[in-house]
Structure 1
Amino acid sequence: MTVFVTIISGVATFVLGQILLKLLIEPVHEFRRTVADIALALIEYANIYANPGVAGEEVEKLASVNLRKLSSRLHAQMYLIPCYSLIEPVHEFRRTVADIALALIEYANIYANPGVAGEEVEKLASVNLRKLSSRLHAQMYLIPCYSFTSKVFRLPSGDKVREVASNIIGLSNGLSKSSSDLISANVQRANKIHHLLGIPPS
C-alpha cells in the first residue's frame, strides 16, 4: 500500500510539474526572451530608425519586417501566459512602489530641508510625488479582488496603500519654506511610507 501511494504521489507530482512548466514557466520564459530580442533590435536598428531613408530600401524593409515580427510575437505571447491580466497590474504596482522608494532617496535633501532647494526644484519634486501617489492609488483598483490578491502576492493592504498615498501627498505639500516645523513632520511621513510599503530604510 505504501509503495502504491508513493508511486501515485510521484506521478501526480510529475504531472503537476509538467502542467506548471508548460502553462506558466515556458510561456513566461519565451515572453522574456522576446523582450530581450526587442531590446537587441532597438540597438541594432538604432541607426536606421534614427535616420529614415539613409540606410537604403532593402535594409529598411528587412528592419521593418523584423520589428513587425517582434511586435506580433510579443502580443501573441501575452495571451499564452495564464492570468496575464492579473499579473501585469501586480507588476506595475510593484514598479510604482520601487519608484516611490527611489523618490524618497532622490528628494530626501528637499523634504528634510524645506525651502532650501529653491522654488523650481521643490515644485518639480512636489508634482512628481503627487503623480506617484495618484499612480499607486489608481493601480490598486486595477488589481482584481485586491483584498484577496494582495495576500497572495504579499502586497500592502488597501488601508496601507491609502495611508501611503495620503502621506506622499502630505510630503509633497511640505517641501516649501514655512513658519511651522515641517522637517520632523516630513521625516515622519517618509519613515511611515517606508514602513507601510516594506521598503528598507535608506
Structure 2
Amino acid sequence: MKTECDLLIMEIRSLLYSIRHHEVDMDFTVFFTVLSGVSIFVIGQLIVKLVLDPVHDLKKIIGQISHTLIERANIIANPGVPTREVMDETSNLLRKLSSQLHAHLYLIPTYDVTCRIFRLPSKEMLLAASTHLIGLSNSVYSADHNVYKTNARRVEAICDSLGIYIAEESRYPKEIKRCQSKIELA
C-alpha cells in the first residue's frame, strides 16, 4: 500500500517533470526567437552593404557629375582658353568621375536586375556616359573652333545617359532652336 508520503512524492515528481518539460519548450522558443532575430539582422546588413550602399554611392556619383558639368561649364564650352592649371584640374576631375562611374557599375551585384529595381541607368548608358566623360576630359585642352560643338553634344549625351535633366532651351544648338520657336510663334 502506498502511503501518503509516497503519493506526495509521486505528485512532486510529476510536477517537477511538467515544469522541466515546459522549461525545455520555453528554452527552444527563446533560442529560435534569438536565432531568427540575429538571422534577419545579418541578412538585412548584407542587403544594405552589398546592394543599397553601392546604389546610393552610384547616385552620389551621378549627382557629382551633374554638379561638375555645371560648375565647369565655362571651361568645357571654351576649351583651350583657361589657364593650364585650370584645364588640368578639370580634365583630372572629369577623368576621375568617369573612372568612379565605371567602377560603381561593377560594385553593384546583378546590375541588370538592380538597375530596373532602383531605376538606375542601364549598363550601356553608364558606359556611354563614362566614355563621353573621358572625351570631355581630353578635349578641354583643344583650342579648335569646332570643339565646343562636340563638347556640347557630349554634355547632352552624358546627361541623357544618366537621366540628368537639361532644359530644352539649354540643349545644342541654341540658335537653331530659338529660330525654329520664333518661326512657329509667327
Q: Same fold (TM over 0.5)?
A: yes
TM score, norm. by length of structure 2: 0.64
1:106 deviates by 0.8
Tell me, yes or no, if the aligned pair for 2:94 and 2:133 is still in contact at 8 Å. yes
Do the aligned residues in 1 keep the contact of 2:54 with 2:108 (CA within 8 Å)? yes
Residue matched to 1:169: 134
CA distance, structure 2, for counterparts of residue 80 and residue 146 of structure 1: 19
What's 1:143 paired with? 108
Rounded Cα–Cα distance in structure 2 between residues aligned with 1:193 and 1:181: 19
Letter in 2 for 1:150: C
Distance between the aligned counterparts of 1:161 and 1:82, measured in 2?
25
Match of 1:177, SS state, is coil
Written as runs of structure 1 = structure 2, the 5 A alignment for 1:1-202 is 81=45, 83-84=47-48, 85-179=50-144, 181-201=146-166
Deviations 1:36-77 (A, max 9, x none): xxxxxxxxxxxxxxxxxxxxxxxxxxxxxxxxxxxxxxxxx8
The 1:86–1:180 alpha-carbon spacing in structure 2 relative to 1, beyond 3 Å, is: same
Query: Deviations 1:133-181 (Å, cap 9, x if unpaired)?
Result: 0000011101000011100100000000010000000001111133352
| Aligned residue-pair number | 128
Distance in 1 (CA, whole Å) between partners of 2:107 and 2:90 is 26
RMSD: 2.1
TM-score normalized by the length of structure 1: 0.59
SS in 2 for 1:154: coil
Confirm or deny: 8 A CA contact 2:81 2:143 kept in the other structure: no
Which ranges of structure 2 fall in alignment gaps of 5 or more residues?
1-36, 168-186
Distance 2:54 2:42 in 1: 13
Paired residue type of 2:47: C
The CA deviation at 1:78 is 8.9
Change (3 A) 1:120 1:148: same
